[in-house]
Structure 1
Amino acid sequence: MSVLLVIPARHASTRYPGKPLARLTGPDGVTRTLLELTWAAAQAVPGVARAVVATDDERIAAEARRIGAEAVMTSPDCRNGTERVAEAVERLGGGYELVVNLQGDAPLTPPWFVTAVIEALAADPQAEMATPVLRCDGRALRHMLEDRAAGRPGATTAVFDAAGRALYFSKEVIPHASHIYADDEVTPVYHHVGLYAFRPDALEAYRRWPVGRLEALEGLEQLRFLENGARVLCVEVEARGRRFWELNNPEDVARIEAILAAEAAARPAPAGP
């Protein structure tokens, strides 16, 4: 199956202007841009025919070229990452069976998250889009609630039916969870991972649909699919001991740096000579 992976990246983020060029310090003491870290995550995904960065900003395109990525220039009129991915597909001439949108602010995305949505979409010919969800532990839920209390719209949550069909996505914590959970305790809340696999026809239809009422209220592009009756799959994925977080706000830089440091510390030491 021919898969195109697109990283949409824009400079004019409302909550964090210039976010793709934000610098994060790794456990080795080297600072790398958010785009470089996300590109590394994309390169770890097996079975992708082509990977590109889609942007409307020459500064981001220059950074893409610096790190060895192919840059596709798109219109500044794209209202979100999905529209930018759709335009990139058009500019590249199409010809792909599935298209993956790996959000530019998700450098901690493990490769098996991407593989899971590709496989789920390939296996369900009625589905038009697939996206991963990760069941929260108490620590992740607490971070979400802290962000809400501080007035920071951050991580997105998802609810879905018994067949995995999406019912709703929100920047609020849904469903309501009043219990106080321990850090490693499993909760009923699912974190929506910023990653999508699309059929090309669904992407093209998305560009024609007007912005939906719920999409505008929540600021979540994937709701446009639900508001137009599209079948969206929520694919539950396992963290396998890794922690996932997106860079939504400047405060998330320290969180992601801490996760990178913890992962480095947990790796086995290299064998001696």
Structure 2
Amino acid sequence: MASDFAIIIPARFASQRFPGKPLAALRGAGGQVRSLIQRSWDAAQAIAGSARTWVATDDERIAEAVQSFGGQVVLTPETCRNGTERCAAALDVLGDIAPIIVNLQGDAPLTPDFVVRDLVSALEADADAVMTTPAVRCSETLYHHLVADQKQGRVGGTTIVFNSARTALYFSKRVIPHISETVVDAHRHVHLHLGAYAYRPDALRAYAATPPSSIEQLEGLEQLRFLETGQRIRVVPFDPIEWDCIELNNPEDIPAIEEVLRQRGMR
């Protein structure tokens, strides 16, 4: 298992669905309140250590919040369209910090440490892949959370389909594949895409130099730029995790995330 990797947490203030999201307060077990960006930092630090983790942002409010709890910040341009471009911009500032860069998105504080480590191992083992990313088979409760978001017209988590070679076929903010209501145990056929990626630095730089793709712009999913340009994304599948890895996409997600924090005893 490789250990030579660094984590970059891209964070922006001007989210369309949830402005100021990185500074949203999340109450953990015992009532302790920490911002989303601090909980994301804590998750990354448990994996790579504080010396190998940076928050990449273009907003001074986020930078000040990170510095207040002792985190490392790298300032990136406002022109970054998404987290992958922001990670590439961070490398322009930081230089060659590691042979593998992990993008741990700042709205996924419940991502387990073993997921990131497995992404790094899978990328090292697969020379044909430009990046690796996780797919978690839905639990019944997580599946119903995604379906409820869709029925309410909210953009919830991202789902993914992939082939037997574990190559990504498509990502969507809709629940895919479509499953008839008559199918028993429908949740077993749906995989949640967690907000984490492992890339080689050259792939990041090439991505930033490529114009956004049409599907990427329609779905609002940055990873689709790799697929539309014919590049291989290696999927790392996981069985349902002990807890539901709900991402903070909308203010309505806060109670569900806080319930997971409470159940796991995370202060």
TM-score, length of structure 2 as denominator length: 0.94
Q: Aligned-pair distance for 1:186? A: 5.0
Runs in 1 of length 4+ with deviation above 6 angstroms?
none
Structure showing the higher helix proportion among its residues? 2
Q: Aligned-pair distance for 1:179? A: 3.6
Give the Cα–Cα distance (whole angstroms) in 1 for the partners of residues 221 and 250 of structure 2. 16
Instruction: Tell me if the contact between 1:3 and 1:47 (Cα under 8 Å) persists in the aligned partners.
Output: no
Give the Cα–Cα distance (whole angstroms) in 1 for the partners of residues 220 and 182 of structure 2. 28
Counterpart code for 2:36: L
How large is the RMSD of aligned CA atoms in angstroms?
Answer: 1.8
Instruction: Tell me if the contact between 1:4 and 1:48 (Cα under 8 Å) persists in the aligned partners.
Output: no
Deviation per residue, 1:206-256 (Å, 9 max, x gap): 011111110001000000000111110110124542221100000000110
Instruction: Tell me if the contact between 1:21 and 1:60 (Cα under 8 Å) persists in the aligned partners.
Output: yes
Give the Cα–Cα distance (whole angstroms) in 2 for the partners of residues 177 and 234 of structure 1. 21
Give the Cα–Cα distance (whole angstroms) in 1 for the partners of residues 186 and 220 of structure 2. 30
Give the Cα–Cα distance (whole angstroms) in 2 for the partners of residues 214 and 30 of structure 1. 41
Q: 1:16 aligns with which of 12, 15, 18?
A: 18
Instruction: Tell me if the contact between 2:83 and 2:105 (Cα under 8 Å) persists in the aligned partners.
Output: yes
Q: Which runs of 5+ in 2 are unaligned?
A: none
Deviation per residue, 1:83-119 (Å, 9 max, x gap): 0000001100124211000000001011001001100
Q: 2:159 aligns with which of 150, 157, 164?
A: 157
Q: 1:108 aligns with which of 107, 110, 132?
A: 110
Give the Cα–Cα distance (whole angstroms) in 2 for the partners of residues 34 and 76 of structure 1. 20
Q: Which runs of 5+ in 1 are unaligned?
A: 266-273
Q: Aligned-pair distance for 1:9? A: 0.4
Residue matched to 1:79: 81
Residue matched to 2:148: 146
Instruction: Tell me if the contact between 2:54 and 2:72 (Cα under 8 Å) persists in the aligned partners.
Output: yes
Q: Percent identity?
A: 50
Give the Cα–Cα distance (whole angstroms) in 2 for the partners of residues 104 and 74 of structure 1. 15
Give SS of 2:31's match. Answer: coil
Residue matched to 1:222: 223
Residue matched to 2:243: 242
Give the Cα–Cα distance (whole angstroms) in 2 for the partners of residues 95 and 156 of structure 1. 29
Greater relative CO, 1 or 2 (CA 8 Å, sep 6+): 2
Provide the aligned length of Structure 1 versus Structure 2.
264
Give the Cα–Cα distance (whole angstroms) in 1 for the partners of residues 51 and 199 of structure 2. 15
Q: Aligned-pair distance for 1:49? A: 6.4
Instruction: Tell me if the contact between 1:181 and 1:187 (Cα under 8 Å) persists in the aligned partners.
Output: no
Give SS of 2:30's match. Answer: coil
